[in-house]
Structure 1
Amino acid sequence: MRKTLTILCLVSNTLVFAQQRADSVAAAAPPLPSQKPAPEKNELKYNLNESGSHFFKVTFLNQTWLRLNQSNPGTTVIGEPKNNTFDIGLRRTRIQMFGQVSDHVFVYFQFGMNNFNFLNASPGFNTTGTLSNRKVQAFFHDAVAEYLVFKNKDYLKIGGGLTIVNGLSRFSQPSVGTIMSMDVPVFAQATVDQTDEFSRKLSLYARGQVGPIDYRVAVSDPFPVQTNGAAPPALGPNANFALKGHNKQFQGMLLYSFFDKEANQTPGYMTGTYLGKKKIFNLEAGFITQKNAVWHTGATATDTVYQAMNLWSVAAFLDMPTNRAKGSAINAYLGYFNLNYGRNYLRYNGIMNPASGTTQAVGGLGGTQGNAFPMFGTGSVIYSQVGYLFRQDLLGSGGTLMPYAQAQIGNYDRVNKSMGVYNFGLNWLIKGHNAKLTLDYQNRPYYQALPATGQLDAQGRRGQLVLQYQVYI
């Protein structure tokens, strides 16, 4: 017992001496430098090699809409007349997965859904009593592999698969998470959900950047229009996409950059605004052509005439800082679109349409209810937009603001006067494009068909107000 007590005393004295010695050494040593907090990450990225030149990345996008809409005349919602509607929907919900898996190989996938409101309005709400399923909605938008011909050089990339690489314009292949306005000018996605899959096509393409020139060319295998989930219009005197025959589609786009080059990583997608991070001024020209893409009746009801689809555009795009120190910037676009879908082609479209039917069909055209207007047609369109990004500390830690305006002026062969659709909006950029609120007001015309000619004649105007909340990781 006495030995045990002696051992415990020795151990205790040793520990006390060691602690005193450590305290004195710590007091004499210079203070350690304070550790800086790790920088906040803004992406979900996994490096496949030590340098990070090979990587795989995942992004998530969700755009929620709260909308109040003045209905076009005759609008019904699930069988009841509605002069106004209020709805909540998901304009876009997307997952992107892409990466540089070797020095030469890039892969890109996108999965998600669009226009998901109470009607589940894509491909369309049916009132025929047949079964429908609101859970069948999400699909692969893109699945493409690309080969970089020259290592570490963007001179030539060859790719293939389901892709949005497109010829007509920058807004035919928009990066929807970075657009300046609440929504893109959808008319520029010329065959959307007719002979493509939400503007994507099965294509073989080449693209690249050589000095100030950015180019892309593609040959696409369009889908038959009868596979788009809606009943195709009957053959008649006005052109519609043909139900017989199958021809490849050819498209190309050339862009000249006067200052900084644009982002060129993901296949096709073109940034809406860099929020003052780049100095961009571009001129662009693009086209899409397809032999015998549409048909209509000729001299008699049994005489079928096939026509080519020929679309082209020219445009200028500006996105640059006005004060780098404060982070303010300007965004502007002006484009002319010459659109030949065949004789008197015209198609209504309403984005995430909040209505299911109409009692006042317009000139035998489908989908004229709710917020729809003649969006696609043979003729020409002038599209412009302008926005101004205020200084980055405008709202302190709460972000900044970016107001904008859009104008789409259509001169379609089947509409007897110019059609103007106007949008005015305000972005609250809480954290750039990663978190933003957008309030948008749209003013559009509505029409009746003239009995004598079948031409569409404007009868008045309607509006819609949308609040969008975007989260983008």
Structure 2
Amino acid sequence: MRKLFLILTLIFLQYTQAQDSIKVEKKTEDMPKEKNPLDIGELKINLNPEKDKWLKFTISSQIWLRSIDNNPGTLVNGVAQEHTYDAGIRRMRLIMQSQLTPFYSIFLQMGINNQNFNSGGGTGTGASGAGKKAPFFFHDAYNELAIIPRNNFQTGKPNKNNIYIGAGLHSWNGVSRMTNASTTKMLAADIPVFNFPTIEIADQFARQLGVFVHGEFDRLNYRFSINKPFATKTTPAVGGPAVDNNQSGKLSFAGYAYYQFFEKEVTATSFLAGNNLASKKILNLGAGFYTNKDATQTQPSENVFESHNTNIFGADVYSEIPLGEKRKEMGLTLYSVFYNYNFGPDYLRISGIMNPGTPDPDFKGQKMIEGAGNNRVLMGTGNIWFSQIGFVIPKFSKILKIQPYFNYALKDMRALNQTGSYYDVGANFYLYGQNARIVAQYSSRPLYDISSKRISDRKGEFLLSLQIVL
């Protein structure tokens, strides 16, 4: 009996140890894998088990804190101010993408822009709240059909060539890479805005209604569109410059293409990155155009009107160069673009982002072409050369990355008698990759005397930007 008891005891102990071992192995298998601290995932809902039908959301927010040196003769909320502090929402966006079938997709983007304490407000806010209730509107709303998809639906392997067509309110723009810029992957705190030649004039926040085609032919990435510009009908002054007036209703045509020498970029949306933290080796050369017949108008003499075509050309180079040892994750980002604009005789556009100021009618000092607040010469008939460079410093943290940068723009406008230099210097502080960043930037702009049309002063602006992308 003792021997039988000992044998049964040994069998029981071995069985118990085996069960414990199985439990430990199972527990190890069930334990989640260690996650990359920089990977916060994506907001995606799969609509079928194969995961080829889905609904995806992206949320982005850019908050600005600023210190602005106002142009001479500025009123802020009716009070003369040489200097203004403010806070504002530069962009707040919600994107919805849906792949309904392997061939058919929908893209929607909604949001608000440019709201501060006294600008960007909705209708009806009046003197008791000029900056309140900023309008929430569609930025993009288009449908897209894959003629030749990026990846073969049967094998899953990439196709060497692909082509997509679509229609709606879209931003598959021409002219340059920066005219198709991603506002969540910018090198600087913001894009220079003159990269959108018809922004908020013949377009809706850089979008027009129409049809487009885009895709790749081996290493050549391309996009072309035919659109109906939004209506304009500004009346020109007698003997004055060209103004926006497209009452004849002509279509616009746009295109942009770039050749990719090294790594290829995926263009599932229209937006092209201006900064990948030099994580890729990229060298792209591109060129593009935008044309719209009878887009502007002049009045050479009383009640005699003359229409002018808008023709815009751009050529650019974009490069990202990883440097040194891979583990240091450092590198250079470079971009340079040349724009040739022709909007008609002496066309000139003045603008200031979230401008807090209005002109003081009683101002007796030297007056500037730019007017009040943080207005600057944005663009016009003439040429602009713009370049930027950024450097990701060697890795010193698992969470934080630092990238100083510099922007420079040289504007030669025919309506002015002197070329103007504009620059921004700043640094990006990235948290969790490009999902969260803080930007500190100082900008300097020239001011043109209203009589001589030559530079007579400069003003600056300090910006702290807080950006989140999910």
TM-score of the pair, normalised by structure 2: 0.88
Aligned to 1:315: 316
Aligned to 1:291: 293
**Counterpart mapping for 1:347-386 below 5 A:** 347-359=349-361, 368-386=371-389
Aligned to 2:400: 399
Q: Does 1:197 align with 2:204?
A: yes
Q: Which amino acid aligns with 1:439?
A: A
Q: Which amino acid aligns with 2:174?
A: G
Distance (whole Å) between structure 2 residues aligned to residue 135 and residue 365 of structure 1: 32
Distance (whole Å) between structure 1 residues aligned to residue 428 and residue 334 of structure 2: 15
Aligned to 1:48: 47
Compared with structure 1, are the counterparts of its residues 86 and 41 closer, same or farther at alpha carbon in structure 2 (3 Å cutoff)?
Answer: closer
Q: Does 1:134 align with 2:153?
A: no
Compared with structure 1, are the counterparts of its residues 313 and 124 closer, same or farther at alpha carbon in structure 2 (3 Å cutoff)?
Answer: farther
Distance (whole Å) between structure 1 residues aligned to residue 248 and residue 125 of structure 2: 28
CA contact (8 A) 1:357 1:367 kept: no
Compared with structure 1, are the counterparts of its residues 150 and 82 closer, same or farther at alpha carbon in structure 2 (3 Å cutoff)?
Answer: same
Compared with structure 1, are the counterparts of its residues 120 and 148 closer, same or farther at alpha carbon in structure 2 (3 Å cutoff)?
Answer: same
Q: Which amino acid aligns with 1:264?
A: T
Aligned to 1:25: 16
Write the deviation string for residues 236-267 of structure 1: whole angstroms up to 9, x where unpaired. Answer: 4200111632111011111111011112101x
Aligned to 1:336: 338
Distance (whole Å) between structure 1 residues aligned to residue 73 and residue 102 of structure 2: 58
Distance (whole Å) between structure 2 residues aligned to residue 275 and residue 304 of structure 1: 51
Q: Does 1:225 align with 2:222?
A: no
Give the SS at the match of 1:42.
coil
Distance (whole Å) between structure 2 residues aligned to residue 295 and residue 287 of structure 1: 21
- Correspondence for 1:262 among 256, 261, 265: 265
- Correspondence for 2:180 among 173, 184, 203: 173
Distance (whole Å) between structure 1 residues aligned to residue 366 and residue 49 of structure 2: 63
Give the SS at the match of 1:156.
strand
Aligned to 1:121: 120
TM-score of the pair, normalised by structure 1: 0.87
Compared with structure 1, are the counterparts of its residues 358 and 386 closer, same or farther at alpha carbon in structure 2 (3 Å cutoff)?
Answer: farther
Distance (whole Å) between structure 2 residues aligned to residue 378 and residue 234 of structure 1: 16
Distance (whole Å) between structure 2 residues aligned to residue 333 and residue 65 of structure 1: 24
Compared with structure 1, are the counterparts of its residues 93 and 221 closer, same or farther at alpha carbon in structure 2 (3 Å cutoff)?
Answer: same
1:431 offset after TM fit, Å? 1.5
Identity in percent: 29
- Correspondence for 1:466 among 450, 457, 463: 463
Q: CA RMSD in A?
A: 2.8
Aligned length: 442
Compared with structure 1, are the counterparts of its residues 270 and 310 closer, same or farther at alpha carbon in structure 2 (3 Å cutoff)?
Answer: same
Write the deviation string for residues 285-317 of structure 1: whole angstroms up to 9, x where unpaired. Answer: 00000111000012x222111110000011111
CA contact (8 A) 1:114 1:122 kept: no
Q: Which amino acid aligns with 2:426?
A: G
Q: Does 1:67 align with 2:59?
A: no
Write the deviation string for residues 184-207 of structure 1: whole angstroms up to 9, x where unpaired. Answer: 121010110011101111020111
Give the SS at the match of 1:276.
coil
1:234 offset after TM fit, Å? 4.2
Give the SS at the match of 2:194.
helix
Compared with structure 1, are the counterparts of its residues 276 and 114 closer, same or farther at alpha carbon in structure 2 (3 Å cutoff)?
Answer: same
Aligned to 2:436: 435
Distance (whole Å) between structure 2 residues aligned to residue 427 and residue 136 of structure 1: 28
Distance (whole Å) between structure 2 residues aligned to residue 164 and residue 64 of structure 1: 23
Q: Which amino acid aligns with 2:145?
A: Y
Write the deviation string for residues 31-72 of structure 1: whole angstroms up to 9, x where unpaired. Answer: 426324463542101123334333221011000111000000
Q: Does 1:390 align with 2:393?
A: yes
1:26 offset after TM fit, Å? 4.8
Distance (whole Å) between structure 2 residues aligned to residue 363 and residue 415 of structure 1: 17
Distance (whole Å) between structure 2 residues aligned to residue 378 and residue 282 of structure 1: 27
Compared with structure 1, are the counterparts of its residues 295 and 234 closer, same or farther at alpha carbon in structure 2 (3 Å cutoff)?
Answer: closer
